[in-house]
Amino acid sequence: MHNPKHIVITGASSGIGAALALAYAAPDVRLGLSGRNQQRLEQLAAQARAKGANVVTATIDVTSRGAMNAWLQSLDAAQPIDLVIANAGISAGTGSGNETEQQIREIIAINVEGVINTVQPMIEPMVARGRGQLAIMSSLAGFRGFPGAPSYCASKAAVKVYGEALRGDLSYKGVGVTVICPGYVKTSMTEPNKFPMPFLMTAEKCAEIIKRGLARNKARIAFPFLPYFFVWLLSLLPPSLTDHLLAVLPKKAGR
C-alpha cells in the first residue's frame, strides 16, 4: 500500500520496530506502537511526534490475546488501520546446551501466537473494507532448521508459511499480506552474538528495505540477497547433504 495513513507496529520499543516507526513517522500519519518497555516506547513516540506523526502507544504483551484484540479494535474504530506490522519477537539458541522447555514455549508463544494475536483481529475488518495490508516478521532463519536455534527457526518458519497461505486467500479480497525475512540486523537481539554475522545491517537500512517492499505489496521481502540465496539453496538440498555443514555453525546463546 502506498502512503498508509494508519500504521500499527508491535515490538516498536526497540530495534527494527523502532526503526520502522521512525521510517513511517510523518505529518498526517497515525502510528499505533506497542511493546512491553514503556520508557523506551515513550522515547520513541516523542521522536516520531517530532517528525509530525500522531502517535498512540500501548504497553501490551503480544501473548495477551484479549488485550491485543481490544487494543486493535479501539485503534481501528478511531481510524481504519491501513497497515499492521506484526514485528514483536524474541530469540534464543542452544549455545549453552539444549533449549529448555520454558525457552521453547516462550519463543513459540511470542513469535507465533503473538503474530496470530496481532493479525487475526484485523482480517475481518480489512476484508469488510476490501482494503488493508498485513506484514508478518519472519526471518531467513525460517527457511531451514538450524541446530543453533531450533524453536526460533520453527517459529519463523511457522509465521512465514502462515503469511504465504493468508496472502493466497486475502489478496482476492483486497487485503495484502507480506512476509518479511531479514538476515542479520544490528539490534538488541543480535547484540549478544559472539560469532561473525555476515552482511549485518543497521535497523534503519532494514526498515528502509521493508518500507519499500511493503509499498509494492511484495509477497516476500527477503534480504540481503546472498544470505537469502544461501538459505533458499539449503532448503532445497537434502538434509543428508547439509546436516554436517549446519552442525558446525556457531550457536546462539540460550536464554
Ligand X SMILES: NC(=O)c1ccc[n+]([C@@H]2O[C@H](COP(=O)([O-])OP(=O)(O)OC[C@H]3O[C@@H](n4cnc5c(N)ncnc54)[C@H](OP(=O)(O)O)[C@@H]3O)[C@@H](O)[C@H]2O)c1
Asked if residue 88 binds ligand X (CB under 6 A), the reply is: yes
For this structure, is 228 an active site residue? no
Asked if residue 179 binds ligand X (CB under 6 A), the reply is: no
Asked if residue 69 binds ligand X (CB under 6 A), the reply is: no
Q: Which is nearer to ligand X, 13 or 133 (CB)?
A: 13
Instruction: Considering only residues 199 through 228, tell me which ones interact with ligand X, judged by CB under 6 A.
Output: none
- Decide: 200 and 191 in contact? Cβ < 8 Å: no
**Per the omega criterion (within 30 degrees of 0), is the bond before 239 cis?**
no
Q: Which residue in 4, 17, 132, 227 binds ligand X (CB under 6 A)?
A: 17
Q: Which residues of 163-192 are buried (b: 16+ CB within 10 A; e: fewer)?
A: bbebbeebeeeebbbbbbbbbbbbbebeee
Shortest Cβ 100–ligand X spacing (Å): 17
Catalytic residue among 152, 162, 184, 228: 152
Shortest Cβ 173–ligand X spacing (Å): 26
Residue that the C-alpha cell 520454558 belongs to: 102
Shortest Cβ 136–ligand X spacing (Å): 9
- Decide: 83 and 6 in contact? Cβ < 8 Å: yes
- Residue 213: how many CA atoms within 13 Å on its side-chain side? 25
Instruction: Considering only residues 21 through 60, tell me which ones interact with ligand X, judged by CB under 6 A.
Output: 35-37
Alpha carbons 237 and 222: distance in angstroms, whole number: 19
Q: Which residues bind ligand X (CB under 6 A)?
A: 10-17, 35-37, 61-63, 87-91, 110, 114, 137, 139, 182, 184-185, 187-190
